[in-house]
Amino acid sequence: MKKEKKLNNLIKHPGTTIGDPEKIVHIDWLPKHNAWFKINNQQIELHILAKPHAKRSALLAVGEQELQIALHAKPHQGEANKELIAFLAKLFQIPKSHILLRRGEASRHKVVVLPLNEKIQDVIRDIQDNDLVKTIES
């Protein structure tokens, strides 16, 4: 509840900064109703619906609760999870080692954590505007 209140305050007051004063990221673009990502300190948590064994890996849609991502790999021995991390690394242009699969190792519903930086903010903004949906394929 406390985190939700803090996030609502950020939405109501654009231009607010969050996190450690040493490494502050300026937030002025938060949407009012998007549950597919959450910002905690200097990290962003993405909620993803993975669709393994697809023809190719691609960002399919932005749902109300999660991003829908098709993955070419089969959901066998973590292959789809590895491909998801590789796909996100390519999408956000960050090293794979900066991406953490927090929840959903054996589920289609996953929570992934990324560091919050300007590059990632730009990509999230583009995803929100639906500029990247159906154009991102690996």
**pLDDT higher for 10 or 36?**
36
Structure confidence at residue 133 (pLDDT): 59
CATH H-level, domain 29-128: superfamily: YggU-like (3.30.1200.10)
Q: The whole model's pTM is what? A: 0.73
Segment 107-113 shows an average pLDDT of 96
Burial of residue 114 (CB within 10 Å: 0-12, 13-18, 19+) is buried
List, in order, residues 6 or more apart from 56 with CB less than 8 Å away.
Answer: 70, 72, 137, 138
Segment 30-55 shows an average pLDDT of 84
Structure confidence at residue 8 (pLDDT): 39
Tell me, what DSSP letter sits at residue 97? G
Structure confidence at residue 126 (pLDDT): 86
Secondary structure tally for the chain: helices H, strands E: 3, 8
Structure confidence at residue 129 (pLDDT): 81
